[in-house]
Amino acid sequence: MPAGKLIDMYAVQVFVAVTEEGSMSGAASRMGISQSGCRRWFGNWRTISA
């Protein structure tokens, strides 16, 4: 997540879903989106800038 950008609540929900479900497929199912979509949203969270 780049510095200065507002945190997207949807991205937060995807992050929580992936980490709680332990898999992209579980998270995608919980969020009602495709696995590739889920991976893309989660990918945004690799790092967070100070």
Partner 1 sequence: MILVDRTTRPLTLTPFGLALRNRGAILSEELCNLKAQVLDAGRGVKPDLRIGLVDSFAATCGSAFTRQMLGRVAQLSVRTGLSPQQGESLLRRDLDLIITSDPLMDANDVVRYRLFTERYFVITPKALDKPLQSLDDLRALANVLPVVRFNRLSQVGLQIERHMRGLGVRMPNRLELDNADALTAMVADGIGWAVTSPMCFLQACTWVENVTAHLVPQLSLERSLYLVARRNEYSAFFADACETARNVILDTFLPRLSALGKGVETLVTIDEEDSREYF
Please identify, using beta-carbon distances, which residue of 4 and 47 lies nearer to partner 1. Answer: 47
CA gap 21, 24 in Å, rounded: 8
Give the integer Cα–Cα distance in Å for 41 and 50: 20
Report, in Å, the least distance between residue 33 CB and partner 1. 15
Residues in 22-41 that interact with partner 1 by CB under 8 A: 22-23
Cβ of 19: how many Cβ atoms within 10 Å? 11
- Smallest gap, in angstroms, from Cβ of residue 45 to partner 1? 6
Kindly tell me which residue out of 12, 25, 36, 40 binds partner 1, with binding defined by CB under 8 A.
12
